[in-house]
Amino acid sequence: MKIGVRVHDLGRNTPENLAKTAKNIGFDAVQLVVNKAILDEGSLPTYLDDDKVRNISNAFINEGLEIAMLGAYFNPVHENKEKVAVGIKNFSNFLQYEHKFKAHFVGSETGSFSNDPWVYHPHNRTEDGFMQSVDVFRQLAKVADKYDANIALEGAFGHVCYEPKILRRLYELIGSNKIYFTIDLFNYLDISNYKNYLDILDDAISTLGDRTVIFHLKDFKIEDNKLVRADIGQGIMDYKLVLSKMLACNPNAYYIFEGNSKEGMQDSYNFIRNIEKEVIK
């Protein structure tokens, strides 16, 4: 089981220091958002050239870490079309350099008409809203095809692809074999449905499982009638059941910690490794 971490959850630092920190905890891979993780990188679209990409990539490779995903998340349906254009350019840049990073996927979510932050908006659940997102990712699928790169798309309850079947439809309409899926169970949850989280996971796996390459691992609690993130192992998810379902779907996927606190990272990593032993024995 390949376990990774969204590396900027370890702080902003040099690629060498981030790689050493991730490796010392025990991780096998990283999800890398260059402008959030790497010192002196903050503007979008991210400027990339062969030397920069090689230096960043080698820092992780030298520690035995894979770059599972290059995060280039942006809101494809933002009302500010200049922001959308910047997001498309940035995502395209990472598709162009995916192989030179020795990365496997470039990832994003499918956006929300709330603009910022990306939360529920009624237009997300319209055909027009859905097709706007389709049009953007159809364009990016052509870029992926040009560079023989791969895209990992992720749905969320408050976004345009608010259910797994909607994300599946986006993929089928575009018809590109360069599009794969990230399942983030927590992202599909809301105060109205969280008690059914295992059923929601079953639906995501049955709908998206044949093309799922990344699982985001998170946990949560309920406070003041709201879902509140918790470090993995400190929330209410039954990870023995969750992980067994995920591993049955794709044991070769990347299992990426996302949003875990830096202080709790080692304990959460140890927790998941212990659950893994219980599941596979």
Q: Are 27 and 67 in contact (CB under 8 A)?
A: no
* Average pLDDT, integer, range 251-278: 98
> In the structure, what pLDDT confidence band is assigned to residue 280 with cuts at 50, 70 and 90?
confident
Q: Which residue has the tokens 């992202």?
A: 187
- Percent of the chain having pLDDT more than 90? 99
Q: What single-letter DSSP state applies at residue 65?
A: -
Q: Which residue type, as a one-letter code, is found at position 116?
A: D
Q: Angle 265-280/239-249 helices, nearest 10 degrees? A: 70
Q: How large is the C-alpha radius of gyration of the chain?
A: 18
Q: Residues 59, 10, 35, 73: what is their CA dihedral angle, to the nearest 10 degrees?
A: 110
Q: What is the pLDDT of residues 125-183, one digit of tens each?
A: 999 999 999 999 999 999 999 999 999 999 999 999 999 999 999 999 999 999 999 99
How is residue 42 written in tokens? 């903050």
> Of 203, 195, 263, 260, whose CA–CA distance to 7 is shortest?
260
How is residue 67 written in tokens? 């770059």
Helix or strand (DSSP H, E) at 23: helix 15-25
* Average pLDDT, integer, range 98-106: 98
Q: What is the pLDDT of residues 55-69, one digit of tens each?
A: 999 999 999 999 999
Separation between Cα atoms, residue 250 and residue 244, nearest integer Å: 10
